[in-house]
């Protein structure tokens, strides 16, 4: 009976989360419209609509109850401009927050930081880029700053945690209010890892549309550079980029497919002079230039295990000696089938570095049967060189 009751409780919880996700999606659509071109009257109307009609305060309160055990362990702080712990970089803003409300380790706010932001309705490509570069930044000892929103923001926070680093979540609600609801477990992990939930809204403040666009300036100012992983046109992500440029900070952008509407904004920023991040090496170069000796390169000379130059050590192939097929004297020779497998592995790995692909797409691109591609891809995945994305494509991953 107890097990049945637990299943019913879990079912009700999932059902409530689904209802909240639908409410949240409608709220985000309205929020994006306001970010693009709202006036004060429209904002006031949005405040009333989002606060009274769209948001379920009961669900928010229940989510808060689940987070409170962690909050009890996390330190609450209220930071005033001029105080020792108030982030000095925020003093550069024309409208410096009058007070910051922080939950967690506020010392993190003074560490070298990179903002990673992108689309809410992100593609698998955008989500993977956000998580990938968030993880790499964390391994460099750099704090990742983002907004905790559904999509690229949450992926960036997740990457930072996976990389063993800390992350700052700048909220459009009170720092003790869980929004979006599905982020509550992520916020718990942020606190456990020594990160911070931060807001300029007082404790208990509900999420309101205008607060999300207003918090973008804080995200940009807390960091020394901003990385845009995916942005369409129009996009609220541009606000963060504009604030970063106004502060004299670098804006880094991951390019996307020219036919993807979710990448039109990103590609437009690149055309306007943003720094392109085209691979792990360019990301490393950008971080070294921006942060210098304040960050540490964690991977030695090879950025990731999947460097084609290291394929001999990383891919398991049959090295049974056979007749010499052109190797110089003294070198170990490979069976013809093993040599073909190794060459194909190198080609597939290089191709996946350039563009994530499915099994079928790889079979067409390299003119191989599907069985052979599956075998090679399985070896690369087991070796930790590639990973499968949510949409079935494969891409290389950092070591």
pLDDT tens, 224-253?
Answer: 999 999 998 888 788 999 999 999 999 999
User: What are the tokens at 310?
Assistant: 């290291």
Specify the pLDDT at position 297: 57
Residue 260 and residue 334 in one domain: no
Give residue 351's domain range.
308-396
HEC profile for 341-385? HHHHHHHHHHHHHHCCECHHHHHHHCCCCHHHHHHHHHHHHHCCC
Q: What is the pLDDT of residues 165-182, one digit of tens each?
A: 999 999 999 999 999 999
Specify the pLDDT at position 23: 53
- Overall average pLDDT of the 143-159 stretch: 97
Q: What is the CATH number of the domain that holds 276?
A: 3.40.50.450
Specify the pLDDT at position 366: 83
Q: Measured at the alpha carbon of residue 108, what is the angle toward residues 105 and 111, in degrees to the nearest 5? A: 165
- Overall average pLDDT of the 104-113 stretch: 95
Q: What is d(CA 186, CA 14) in angstroms, rounded to the nearest whole number?
A: 17
Q: What is the pLDDT of residues 57-76, one digit of tens each?
A: 555 555 555 555 555 457 89
Specify the pLDDT at position 301: 35
List strands edge to edge, sheet with 167-170: 76-79, 100-104, 196-199, 167-170, 143-146, 113-118, 225-230, 250-253, 275-276
Q: What is d(CA 233, CA 283) in angstroms, rounded to the nearest whole number?
A: 24
The reply to whether 8 falls in a domain is no
What is the chain's mean pLDDT, rounded? Answer: 79
Residue 200 and residue 86 in one domain: yes
Which residue did the predictor score with more confidence, 186 or 37? 186
- Overall average pLDDT of the 126-138 stretch: 95
Q: What is the CATH number of the domain that holds 364?
A: 1.10.10.10
The reply to whether 7 falls in a domain is no
Q: Count up the domains in the chain and report the number.
A: 2
Strand blocks (E) in 95-247: 100-104, 113-118, 143-146, 167-170, 196-199, 225-230
Q: Is the N-terminal amide bond of 234 cis, ω within 30° of 0?
A: yes
Residue 259 and residue 355 in one domain: no
User: What are the tokens at 303?
Assistant: 């950025």
Q: Measured at the alpha carbon of residue 217, what is the angle toward residues 214 and 218, in degrees to the nearest 5? A: 100
User: What are the tokens at 393?
Assistant: 């494509």
> End of a domain among 264, 294, 324?
294
The reply to whether 278 falls in a domain is yes
- Overall average pLDDT of the 376-397 stretch: 87
The pLDDT confidence band at residue 350, using thresholds 50, 70 and 90, is confident
Residues near 287 by Cβ (< 8 Å), separated by ≥ 6? 114, 137, 140, 142, 295
The DSSP call for residue 75 is: P
CB atoms within 10 A of CB 78: 14
Specify the pLDDT at position 315: 38
Specify the pLDDT at position 229: 96
> End of a domain among 242, 264, 294?
294
> What are residue 378's phi and psi, to 5 degrees?
-60, -40
Residue 289 and residue 324 in one domain: no
């Amino acid at each position: 009976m107890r097990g049945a009751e637990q299943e019913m409780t879990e079912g009700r919880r999932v059902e409530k989360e689904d209802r909240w996700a639908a409410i949240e999606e409608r709220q985000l659509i309205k929020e994006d419209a306001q970010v693009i071109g709202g006036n004060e009257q429209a904002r006031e109307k949005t405040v009333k609509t989002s606060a009274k009609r769209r948001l379920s305060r009961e669900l928010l309160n229940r989510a808060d109850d689940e987070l409170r055990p962690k909050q009890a362990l996390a330190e609450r702080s209220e930071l005033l401009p001029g105080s020792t712990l108030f982030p000095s970089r925020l003093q550069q803003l024309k409208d410096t927050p009058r007070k910051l409300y922080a939950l967690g380790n506020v010392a993190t706010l003074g560490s070298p930081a990179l903002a990673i932001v992108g689309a809410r309705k992100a593609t698998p490509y955008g989500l993977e880029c956000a998580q990938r570069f968030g993880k790499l930044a964390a391994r460099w000892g750099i704090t990742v700053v983002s907004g905790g929103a559904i999509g690229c923001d949450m992926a960036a926070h997740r990457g930072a945690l996976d990389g063993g680093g800390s992350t700052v979540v700048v909220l459009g609600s009170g720092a003790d209010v869980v929004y979006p609801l599905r982020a509550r477990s992520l916020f718990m992990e942020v606190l456990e890892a020594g990160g911070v939930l931060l807001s300029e809204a007082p404790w208990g403040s509900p999420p309101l549309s205008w607060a999300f666009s207003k918090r973008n300036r804080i995200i940009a100012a807390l960091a020394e550079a901003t990385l845009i992983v995916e942005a369409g046109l129009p996009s609220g992500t541009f606000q963060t980029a504009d604030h970063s440029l106004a502060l004299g900070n670098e804006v880094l952008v991951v390019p996307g497919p020219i036919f993807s509407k979710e990448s039109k904004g990103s590609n437009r920023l690149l055309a306007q002079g943003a720094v392109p991040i085209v691979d792990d090496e360019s990301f490393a170069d950008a971080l070294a230039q921006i942060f210098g000796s304040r960050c540490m390169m964690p991977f030695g000379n090879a950025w990731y295990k999947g460097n084609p130059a290291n394929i001999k050590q990383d891919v398991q192939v049959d090295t049974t000696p056979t007749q010499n097929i052109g190797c110089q004297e003294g070198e170990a020779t490979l069976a013809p089938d093993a040599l073909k497998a190794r060459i194909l592995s190198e080609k597939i790995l290089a191709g996946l570095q350039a563009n994530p692909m499915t099994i079928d797409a790889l079979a067409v691109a390299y003119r191989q049967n599907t069985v052979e591609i599956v075998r090679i891809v399985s070896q690369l995945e087991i070796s930790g060189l590639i990973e499968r994305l949510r949409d079935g494509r494969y891409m290389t991953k950092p070591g």
